[in-house]
A = this chain, B = another copy of it.
Amino acid sequence: MCELLGMSANVPTDICFSFAGLMQRGGGTGPHKDGWGIAFYEGKGVRCFHDPNPSVDSKIANLVKEHPIKSHVVISHIRQANVGDICLENTHPFQRELWGFIWTFAHNGQLDNVLFSLPLSYYHPVGSTDSEYAFCWLLGQLRTRFPEQPDDFNEVSAFIHTCCETLRGLGVFNMLLTESTHLFAFCGSKLSWITRKAPFGEARLTDCDVTVDFVQETKPGDIVTVIATVPLTTNEAWVALKPGELVTFVKGLLQ
């Protein structure tokens, strides 16, 4: 199993606080020692860092933690390998281009080998994980259904939801997916989110002894949603998604 972390915000926001908590699970408080990755969007552009080493020891993870990169949309993942060797090409998140957008995908869970009989079309995996295969299948389905970007993104959400339900039928499938503006979160078994906005309060990390006072860190109009497989703070009311539920966030707001 693995840990997922996502963020959607209406202003460029750094994710240092949440990432500090997640990193501890990468060989510190958790067993997820088989690599980690994080994608930060700036407009349609994206920076992506991957490391097959445990996040708790990683020099690149330290750079990300200490050197705030501000972003509207973030997807991060730390891995405990089940399917596929520990190597760079098996490290989430995975990325492919569709409609002139770089789509980024990360998965928590494990899927039955039946997955590998689902037909691929435009996209092919580089590594050997079930996760990347599922992503290639899903994005290929989306491209076949919508060769051009549709005007109404609700149609895209609904179609992605259908594909996610197919994948949930094959095992455990919690997912984060984005094309830069929309952050799609699908819960197969566990996924929780919280929206922080004014009036801001204090938050305390579950995984290490860190507290942040968001009043000091934010402006009154800021809206920031964080999504994680397991809530990252002990003193806030996270919303747990139900199995089979897909939610979409734009600029921090639930659509």
Contacts and interface: CB of A to CB of B under 8 A. Distances in A.
B127 A99 contact: no
Interface stretch (A2-10, A75-83, A118-126, A159-167): A118-126
A24 interface: no
A88 interface: yes
Contact of A48 (B42, B48, B101): B48
A125 B100 contact: yes
Contacts of A51: 47
Interface residues of A, number: 33
A102 interface: yes
Nearest to A67: B59
A50 interface: yes
Interface SS majority for chain A: mixed
Interface string A82-116: 00000111110001110111100000000000000
Nearest to A66: B59
Contacts of A219: none
A123 B51 CA distance: 27
Contacts of A124: 97, 99-100
A50 B52 CA distance: 19
A142 B161 CA distance: 33
Contact of A97 (B44, B90, B96): B96
A51 B50 CA distance: 16
A174 to B, nearest CB: 24
A70 to B, nearest CB: 12
Contact of A126 (B91, B100, B126): B100
A169 interface: no
A122 B122 contact: yes
A126 B45 contact: yes
Nearest to A85: B43
5 contacts: A43-B89, A45-B87, A45-B90, A47-B49, A49-B49
- CB-based closest 5 A-B pairs: A45-B88, A45-B89, A100-B124, A42-B88, A44-B89
Given A42-B88, A100-B126, 11 more contacts: A43-B89, A45-B52, A45-B90, A46-B88, A47-B50, A47-B88, A48-B48, A59-B63, A95-B95, A97-B123, A100-B125
